[in-house]
Structure formats: C-alpha cells, structure tokens
Amino acid sequence: MPTELLTIGPVHNIIQNVVYAMPTRKVRVHSLAVVEISVDSIAWDVLTNSETIGAEAASAFIRCPGGNTTLVLKA
C-alpha cells in the first residue's frame, strides 16, 4: 500500500501506527493526540506540543502511536 500524502489545510483523520507522508515544506502541526515524526520512517521522535499549542515540523513522515487521531497541517 502506498504512503498517503497529507496536505496543508484540511482536517486529516489518521490511523494508529500508519505512516503518512508530510508536505515537502515546514508546517505547523495541530493534533488531538501525541504524534511522532521521522525523516527515514525508521527512527521516530515525539513532536512535542502538537496536541496543545501546535508544533513546527519539517520532516518526511508522521504517525500516531497512541491511537487514531485527527490533525491539521498549517503553512
């Protein structure tokens, strides 16, 4: 199954532990749960504050390890 590309603007519903591709620019991530980002889809880092005030990220991939969630990417 190909990796789904998330876009800037709309609300995205993401499924637990499914890897999604991020836009090819820095974005602000607002999510309802903690999400992780990665540049290689192997090593993952928690994106701090994404579920509270939002967090800036410039990475290739994103996932949610704790369950399904909703997120928005802003320019």
Number of domains in the chain: 1
pLDDT by 10s per residue, the chain, length 75: 679 999 999 999 999 999 999 999 999 999 999 999 999 999 999 999 999 999 999 999 999 999 999 999 999
The rounded mean pLDDT for the chain is 96
Residue 33 resides in a domain: yes
Residue 17 resides in a domain: yes
pTM: 0.94
Residue 6 resides in a domain: no
Residue 3 resides in a domain: no
Residue 54 resides in a domain: yes
- Token pair for 15: 């499924």
The answer to whether residues 69 and 32 touch, using CB atoms and an 8 Å cutoff, is: yes
Residue 38 resides in a domain: yes
Contacts of 71 (CB under 8 A, 6+ apart): 6, 11, 12, 14, 29, 30, 31, 32, 35, 50, 62, 64
Residue 2 resides in a domain: no
The answer to whether residues 75 and 65 touch, using CB atoms and an 8 Å cutoff, is: no
- Portion of the chain with pLDDT greater than 90, in percent: 96
State the residue range of the domain holding 65.
11-74
pLDDT at res. 2: 74
